[in-house]
Amino acid sequence: MRQVILSMLVSIDGYIEGVDNDINWHVWNDEMQRYMMDFMKTVDTFIYGRKSYELMLDYWPDQKGEFADIMNQTPKIVFSTTLQKAKMNARIAPGNVAEEIQKEKEKPGKDMVLFAGANIASSFIEHNLIDEYRIIVNPVVLGKGTPLFQTEKQQQLKLVSAKPFKCGNILNIYKPEQNG
């Protein structure tokens, strides 16, 4: 069965973006690029909420290179009740998040990744839809912005592995103690 992986870059104080959707603070180097390219080979679907999808539309279509090609060409599911049209190899899922993802998990293919969106991440957490958390902690303190976790639901996680990168980032991989 396919899994849903939440993969997010966060500041050391837990923010996924700074004020006004700022993500220029992400710490990135060749080692991070190699990790992400290897990770992309394990997934075949990107999951977004409307806001994050629209931010991606503003950036990725004009970018060039292997990473940009993956970002632009990989199929996407966008959860939105307001969007009417989708671009960038995306389809809109206006319905029940839990039902839609359960159907997707049962289809053949590689895993799916939720890359962006605190609101959609919270919804996935509320419905026990995340099978693995890949949190890349960046050595940056933002002070304010959009926190990754915006749910009141408590969930115990088990650390599966941790990998430091030379740039100072640390990849922490967690699995929920129990789903359901």
Residue 9 has pLDDT above 80, yes or no: yes
Q: For strand 111-116 and strand 4-11, is the pairing parallel, antiparallel, or unpaired?
A: parallel
Tell me the pTM.
0.92
pLDDT of residue 180: 45
Residue 179 has pLDDT above 70, yes or no: no
Q: For strand 170-176 and strand 157-164, is the pairing parallel, antiparallel, or unpaired?
A: antiparallel
Burial of 30 (0-12, 13-18, 19+ CB in 10 A): exposed
Sorting pLDDT into bands at 50, 70 and 90, what band is 59?
A: confident
pLDDT, tens only, 70-96? 999 999 999 999 988 998 899 999 888
Residue 145 backbone class (left: φ over 0; alpha: ψ -120 to 50; beta: rest): left
Bigger pLDDT: 116 or 120?
120
DSSP secondary structure letters along 14-55: SEEE-GGG--TT----HHHHHHHHHHHTTEEEEEEEHHHHHH
Sorting pLDDT into bands at 50, 70 and 90, what band is 58?
A: confident
Helices (H), the chain: 30-40, 50-59, 66-73, 97-106, 118-126
Computed over every residue of the chain, the mean pLDDT equals 92
pLDDT of residue 119: 87
The answer to whether the beta carbons of residues 8 and 16 sit under 8 Å apart is yes
| High-pLDDT (> 90) share of the chain, % | 72
Residue 46 has pLDDT above 60, yes or no: yes
